[in-house]
């Protein structure tokens, strides 16, 4: 695991070689000899400085500001009132916020678990068979990932419309009237409907990652498995799945983040409704800032959301790394 | 380099940004408080007035464009810089806009605790009582209409205290009906319900309603229309104005919820109402689908364009024909002046100009319902507009306008709208609905 800013010694020495200030050369060399090879020199920070400045200004500063605001009760207009950690206590005790985090957990299934299963399935199929026009299929299957989420959401809102939407119309036209749903307006079906949009968007990403990963697995492993008489399922479990461990970690991380910070799809399709049936943490943040003047609470929700995402991402990557180490 | 070092670096950066954030708050309003007098705008020197409004619908926009042009023609020394946003967008951005150093001189700040109350409390709006005296606004508007735009300076009491703005247009939320299907507007509640039943029997829709997602106002307007007939107008006003004794969990509020739910269960409303967009419902009604549509007078232009003479307007009748008229309504967003304005005297003259007798004429000509009285000669003689003017007069005469429920407290729109969605889906019964709103309302009132 490498956590430093400049990691590769080759790159570091590359940067400090001939073209650079000559006076620096011997100095750098002498200091370099005092520590173990591979340990970066202080001058490395200088190279990272512009990036760090931007990072500080546009990521850390707003983050710090948000953390600061989360300790107050503030309507955005009058003076702030110090409330300490009360806003964080609310995240746990406020039923609406609890519900929002619960919905985010449900969306994890739709945004993360389902797309990854679908992606694995598709990758597994491709790994075993030669498909004609694979590039075309890949492009089509990946397409949802390329469209702007706002467009995706607006499109699905039309598809789900109970009267004029193609989904209910199709059901009616084949006589399945009983299956007609109030997709985005029913209290029980709205969240899965929103989640399904996420599945549709995210599976292309998972699929591309896994397909690329599969191509990396040496064909000899497949041959060996086949010689040993492995069936498709066995082959998938013994060869494809272990070979995709790294890609799996990446896909899990990306889809989990997308699931938890989901805002645009909810905002456009349901605005958290009906009632609060599809409200999610990011939408609560938005509402608390722009609709109800509760900026402190919004900041607290945002920080909690960040913490949850950060912890999950860490967990996923730790698990994946441990796996690689023991293999 | 170790993780520890990275963390140390990040901590320093974080501490620094916290420091920056903490000292970033400074307030300085550069404006002046104004003279409170009528001034000669022509002698005010070169003035730029920045205006933030929500007049985006065709009729509203046309009226304001004309009035702005007339104002600038009359006073060449004044330039009006106008920014307009839709109602929803303005609601969400107005707080940011008025707290910026370059805040607009004039802004349309919505009535109620959510915006006007909050801005009054934060001392952002200029009280206009002296200007009202100087320009005769107190005579221009009925007492009820002035109350909608008034607040106590600490933002705790709605409907009294300082006058913070005046409105251009009147609003009624009433019932549009399709004349092909309904020959005459019903005279009693029983007649109305009989028509709903008839519609249902014909396989038609009684009341077109779109209540999906954030279009919750559809449901709120319908519910409150019924509420006007189960509760007294004082009960509704006491609740909205936050007066002692005002409550949402009274039997009358529950009764309205029950009746509205009953209509839905009986199949009188648009099917799958929580999945239907508001605009889709308007469009279907305009195409001739359904008997009635409950909506505000801001829909006049759209419906008239689509339906011509085949659409009429009435307000929900009571049990008996002789019951006094009551309907949801009031006036559109008031024009207020911010304390940051450098030229409050000119701003006041502008607000006067867009609401005076000439403005009233322009508003009528562009298909709007002016809030100030309209001389008989300027009134529309027939059609949808004539219906609306007639109801407006009746309501003003009988003091029958009840204010929007969502003025009542900061999250009222979301709570009541969401509650109605639950009600229509059978997730909540009427009692649970009124109780849950009451809980949030009491919390807010106690916190004032």
Say yes or no: A62 and A106 in one domain: no
pLDDT of amino acid B223: 98
pLDDT of amino acid A101: 95
Within-domain flag for B438: yes
Say yes or no: B239 and B348 in one domain: no
Of A3-7, B125-129, B433-437, which range is least confident?
A: A3-7
pLDDT of amino acid B31: 65
End of a domain among B322, B345, B374? B374
pLDDT of amino acid A14: 43
Interface of B with A in 384-413 (CB under 8 A): 410-411, 413
Taking the mean position of all CA atoms in its chain, how far away is CA A263? 13
pLDDT of amino acid B30: 54
CA distance A161 to chain B (A): 7
Say yes or no: A22 and A92 in one domain: no
Chain A interface includes B7 (CB < 8 A): no
**Residue A260 reports pLDDT greater than 50:** yes
Alpha-carbon separation of residue A95 from A19, A92, A98, A277, A287 (angstroms):
63, 8, 5, 12, 15
Say yes or no: A138 and A93 in one domain: yes
Contact by Cβ (8 Å): B341, B31: yes
B248-284 tens-digit pLDDT: 999 999 999 999 999 999 999 999 999 999 989 999 9
Stretch A58-75: mean pLDDT: 94
Chain B interface includes A33 (CB < 8 A): no
Contact by Cβ (8 Å): B340, B29: yes
The backbone torsions φ and ψ at residue B81, rounded to the nearest 5 degrees and listed phi first, read -105, 115
Nearest residue to B13 via CA among A55, A71, A67: A55
Nearest to A276 among B18, B211, B418 (CB): B418
Domain with A174 in it: 88-326
pLDDT of amino acid A30: 47
In this prediction, what percent of chain A has a pLDDT beyond 90?
Answer: 55
Residue A291 burial class via C-beta count within 10 angstroms: exposed 0-12, middle 13-18, buried 19 and up: middle
Tokens 């429920």 sit on residue: B405
Say yes or no: A186 and A275 in one domain: yes
Say yes or no: B226 and B290 in one domain: yes
Per the model's pLDDT, the better-predicted residue between A133 and B341 turns out to be: B341
Whole-number Å distance between alpha carbons of B225 and B173: 8
pLDDT band at residue A324 using 50, 70 and 90 as cut-offs = low
The backbone torsions φ and ψ at residue B175, rounded to the nearest 5 degrees and listed phi first, read -115, 120
Domain with B244 in it: 172-330+391-447
Say yes or no: B64 and B187 in one domain: no
Within-domain flag for B386: no
Stretch B390-418: mean pLDDT: 92
Mutate to test the interface with B, among A55, A77, A168, A289 (most CBs of B within 10 A): A77
Within-domain flag for B318: yes
Say yes or no: B336 and B321 in one domain: no
Within-domain flag for B10: no
Say yes or no: A272 and A128 in one domain: yes
B406-423 tens-digit pLDDT: 999 988 999 999 999 999
**Residue B428 reports pLDDT greater than 80:** yes
Chain B interface includes A177 (CB < 8 A): no
Nearest to A65 among B13, B17, B410 (CB): B17
**Residue A1 reports pLDDT greater than 60:** no
Chain B interface includes A3 (CB < 8 A): yes
Say yes or no: B193 and B286 in one domain: yes
A205-258 tens-digit pLDDT: 999 899 889 888 888 988 898 899 888 888 888 888 888 999 999 999 999 999
Chain A interface includes B47 (CB < 8 A): no
Say yes or no: B116 and B218 in one domain: no
**Residue A4 reports pLDDT greater than 50:** no
Nearest residue to B333 via CA among B87, B80, B133, B143: B87
Q: Which residues of B touch A68 (CB under 8 A)?
A: 18, 21-22
Say yes or no: B396 and B358 in one domain: no
Say yes or no: A260 and A170 in one domain: yes
Say yes or no: A211 and A249 in one domain: yes
In terms of DSSP bridges, do strands B401-402 and B327-331 run parallel, antiparallel, or are they unpaired?
Answer: parallel
pLDDT band at residue A10 using 50, 70 and 90 as cut-offs = very low
Say yes or no: B188 and B137 in one domain: no
Say yes or no: B222 and B358 in one domain: no
Say yes or no: A101 and A191 in one domain: yes
**Residue A262 reports pLDDT greater than 50:** yes
Residue B255 burial class via C-beta count within 10 angstroms: exposed 0-12, middle 13-18, buried 19 and up: middle
Q: Which residues of B touch A271 (CB under 8 A)?
A: 213-214
pLDDT of amino acid A24: 46
**Residue B142 reports pLDDT greater than 90:** no
Using only C-alpha atoms, what is the Rg of chain B?
24
Say yes or no: A273 and A311 in one domain: yes
Nearest residue to A74 via CA among A295, A289, A288, A291: A295
pLDDT of amino acid B347: 96
Handedness of CA A219, A225, A227, A229 (dihedral sign): negative
CATH number at residue B406: 3.40.190.10
Global pTM value: 0.84
Say yes or no: B177 and B228 in one domain: yes
CA distance B310 to chain A (A): 24
Tokens 């109780």 sit on residue: B435
CA distance A290 to chain B (A): 5
Say yes or no: A49 and A179 in one domain: no
Of A85-89, A123-127, A158-162, B58-62, which range is least confident?
A: A123-127
- Please report how many Cα atoms fall inside a 13 Å half-sphere around the Cα of residue B260, on the Cβ side: 35
The backbone torsions φ and ψ at residue B293, rounded to the nearest 5 degrees and listed phi first, read -140, 125
Whole-number Å distance between alpha carbons of A279 and A273: 7
Whole-number Å distance between alpha carbons of B152 and B120: 8
Stretch B147-154: mean pLDDT: 93
Q: Which residues of A touch B421 (CB under 8 A)?
A: 273-275
* Helices vs. strands in chain A: H and E counts, helices first: 18, 2
Maximum distance among all alpha carbons in chain A?
84
**Residue B5 reports pLDDT greater than 70:** no
Structural domains counted in chain B = 2
**Residue A28 reports pLDDT greater than 60:** no
Stretch B149-159: mean pLDDT: 92
Per the model's pLDDT, the better-predicted residue between A4 and B148 turns out to be: B148
Whole-number Å distance between alpha carbons of B291 and B203: 11
Nearest to B95 among A40, A77, A287 (CB): A77
Contact by Cβ (8 Å): B196, B263: yes
Contact A60 B425 (CB under 8 A): no
User: Can you list the pairs that B181-186 forms with residues at least 24 positions away whose Cβ atoms lie under 8 Å?
Assistant: B181/B291, B182/B291, B182/B292, B182/B312, B185/B312, B185/B314, B185/B317, B186/B314, B186/B317
A110-133 tens-digit pLDDT: 999 999 999 998 887 876 777 788
Within-domain flag for A289: yes
**Residue A19 reports pLDDT greater than 50:** no
**Residue B63 reports pLDDT greater than 70:** yes
Alpha-carbon separation of residue A312 from A55, A249, A255, A280, A284 (angstroms):
22, 11, 11, 17, 20
Stretch A269-298: mean pLDDT: 92
Maximum distance among all alpha carbons in chain B?
86
Say which residues have a Cβ less than 8 Å from residue A61's Cβ, sequence separation at least 6: B17, B20, B21
Say yes or no: A160 and A224 in one domain: yes
């Amino acid at each position: 695991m490498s956590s430093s800013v400049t990691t590769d010694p080759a790159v570091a020495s590359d940067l400090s070689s001939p073209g650079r200030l000559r006076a620096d050369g011997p100095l750098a060399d002498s200091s370099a000899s005092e520590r173990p090879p591979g340990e970066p020199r202080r001058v490395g920070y200088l190279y990272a400085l512009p990036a760090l400045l931007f990072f500080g200004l546009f990521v850390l500063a707003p983050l710090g500001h948000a953390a600061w605001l989360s300790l107050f009760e503030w309507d955005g207009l009058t003076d702030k009132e110090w409330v300490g950690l009360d806003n964080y206590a609310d995240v746990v005790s406020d039923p609406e916020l609890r519900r929002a985090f619960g919905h985010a957990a449900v969306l994890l299934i739709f945004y993360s678990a389902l797309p990854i299963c679908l992606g694995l399935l598709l990758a597994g199929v491709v790994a075993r068979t030669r498909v004609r026009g694979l590039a075309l299929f890949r492009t089509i299957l990946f397409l949802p990932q390329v469209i702007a989420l706002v467009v995706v959401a607006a499109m699905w809102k039309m598809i789900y419309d109970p009267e004029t939407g193609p989904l209910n119309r199709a059901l009616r036209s084949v006589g399945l009237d009983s299956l007609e749903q109030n997709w985005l307006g029913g209290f029980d079906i709205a969240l899965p409907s929103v989640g399904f949009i996420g599945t549709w968007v995210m599976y292309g990403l998972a699929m591309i990652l896994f397909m690329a990963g599969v191509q990396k697995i040496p064909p000899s492993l497949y041959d060996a498995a086949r010689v040993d008489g492995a069936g498709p399922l066995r082959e998938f479990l013994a060869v494809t799945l272990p070979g995709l461990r790294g890609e799996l970690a990446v896909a899990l991380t990306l889809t989990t983040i997308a699931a938890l910070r989901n805002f645009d799809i909810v905002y456009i399709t349901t605005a958290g409704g009906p009632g609060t049936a599809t409200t999610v943490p990011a939408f609560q943040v938005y509402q608390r800032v722009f609709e109800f003047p509760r900026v402190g609470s919004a900041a607290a929700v945002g920080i909690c959301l960040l913490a949850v995402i950060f912890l999950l991402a860490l967990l996923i990557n730790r698990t994946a790394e441990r796996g690689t180490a023991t293999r | 380099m170790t993780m520890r070092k990275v963390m140390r670096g990040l901590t320093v950066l974080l501490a620094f940004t916290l420091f920056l954030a903490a000292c970033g708050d400074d307030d300085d309003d550069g404006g002046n408080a104004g003279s409170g007098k009528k001034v000669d705008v022509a002698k005010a020197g070169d003035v730029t007035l920045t205006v933030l409004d929500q007049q985006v619908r065709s009729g509203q926009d046309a009226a304001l464009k004309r009035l702005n042009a007339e104002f600038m023609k009359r006073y060449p020394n004044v330039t009006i810089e106008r920014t307009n946003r839709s109602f929803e967008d303005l609601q969400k951005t107005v707080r940011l806009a008025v707290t910026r150093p370059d805040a607009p001189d004039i802004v349309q700040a919505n009535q109620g605790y959510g915006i006007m109350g909050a801005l009054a409390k934060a001392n952002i709006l200029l009280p206009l009582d002296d200007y009202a005296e100087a320009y005769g606004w107190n005579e221009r508007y009925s007492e009820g209409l002035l109350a909608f735009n008034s607040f106590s300076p600490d933002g705790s009491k709605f409907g009294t205290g300082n006058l913070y703005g005046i409105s251009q247009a009147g609003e009624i939320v009433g019932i549009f009906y399709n004349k092909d299907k309904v020959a005459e507007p019903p005279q009693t509640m029983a007649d109305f319900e009989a028509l709903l039943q008839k519609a249902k029997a014909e396989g038609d829709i009684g009341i077109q309603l779109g209540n999906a997602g954030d279009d919750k106002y559809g449901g709120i307007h319908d519910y409150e229309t019924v509420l006007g007939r189960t509760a007294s107008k004082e009960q509704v006003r006491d609740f909205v104005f936050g007066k002692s004794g005002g409550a949402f969990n009274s039997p009358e509020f529950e009764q309205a919820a029950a009746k509205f739910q009953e209509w839905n269960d009986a199949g009188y409303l648009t099917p799958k109402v929580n999945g239907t967009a508001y605009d889709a419902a308007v469009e279907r009604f305009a195409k001739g689908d359904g008997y009635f549509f409950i909506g505000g007078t801001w829909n006049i232009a759209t419906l008239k364009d689509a339906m011509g003479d085949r659409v009429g307007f009435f307000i929900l009748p009571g049990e008996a024909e002789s019951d006094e008229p009551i309907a949801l309504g009031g006036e559109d967003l008031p024009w207020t002046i911010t304390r940051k304005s450098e030229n409050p005297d000119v701003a006041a003259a502008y607000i006067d100009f867009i609401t005076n007798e000439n403005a009233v004429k322009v508003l009528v000509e562009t298909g709007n319902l002016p809030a100030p009285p309209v001389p008989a000669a300027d009134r529309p003689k027939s059609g949808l507009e004539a219906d609306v003017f007639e109801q407006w007069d009746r309501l003003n005469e009988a003091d029958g306008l009840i204010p929007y429920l969502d003025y009542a407290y900061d999250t009222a729109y979301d709570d009541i709208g969401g509650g109605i969605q639950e009600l229509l889906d059978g997730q909540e019964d009427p009692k649970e609905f009124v109780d849950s709103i009451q809980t949030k309302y009491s919390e807010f009132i106690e916190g004032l």
